[in-house]
């Protein structure tokens, strides 16, 4: 059985801190808290840039959580899988080297895990913002429900495949 790694990404400020908050929320979910570290690993990383590749290269399944800018309405939930993540433009992530660029480099180096899902919430301008906005807090609650459902579904499917 391979571990599912869930990594919240972001800076420690405002709406961009949603990856950190998401990991804390997921750690408190009773169904997820019952899982062993061999099944689920939840962690947070402050603006990893290229270090993201180091964090995920030895894994098989990774869920990433980050603030995203696509021009959609603030609070919109996003979900990108595998090579779709590579197509994310640099201005979509709020970090100097975005997830899209890191995924392109990882693909070129052939070190990406086979299963990567990026969950994101559309944010607006965060300059000068110290606390999370109400719109993003509400969206974060919905996103965590979806991620929890996807985690449990994936682990159930893996368990079924392992025993049949």
Instruction: Supply the CATH number for residue 101's domain.
Output: 3.40.50.1450
Which domain range does residue 84 map to? Answer: 4-162
State the pTM of this model.
0.88
Model confidence over 44-57: pLDDT tens digits? 988 777 778 888 88
pLDDT for residue 82: 83
Number of domains the chain is built from = 1
What burial letters (b/e) apply to 51-64, b meaning 16+ CB within 10 Å? ebbebbeebebbbb
């Amino acid at each position: 059985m391979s571990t599912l790694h869930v990594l919240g990404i972001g800076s420690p400020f405002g709406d961009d801190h949603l990856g950190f908050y998401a990991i804390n929320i997921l750690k408190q979910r009773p169904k997820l808290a019952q899982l062993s570290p061999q099944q689920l690993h939840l962690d947070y990383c402050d603006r990893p840039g290229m270090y993201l590749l180091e964090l995920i290269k030895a894994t098989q399944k990774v869920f990433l959580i980050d603030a995203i800018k696509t021009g959609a309405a603030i609070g919109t939930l996003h979900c990108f899988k595998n090579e779709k993540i590579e197509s994310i433009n640099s201005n979509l992530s709020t970090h100097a080297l975005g997830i899209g660029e890191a995924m392109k480099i990882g693909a070129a180096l052939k070190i990406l895990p086979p299963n990567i899902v990026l969950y994101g919430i559309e944010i607006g301008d965060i300059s000068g913002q110290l606390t999370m906005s109400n719109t993003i807090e509400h969206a974060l609650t919905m996103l965590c429900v979806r991620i929890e459902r996807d985690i449990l579904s994936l682990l159930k499917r893996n368990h079924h495949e392992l025993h049949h």
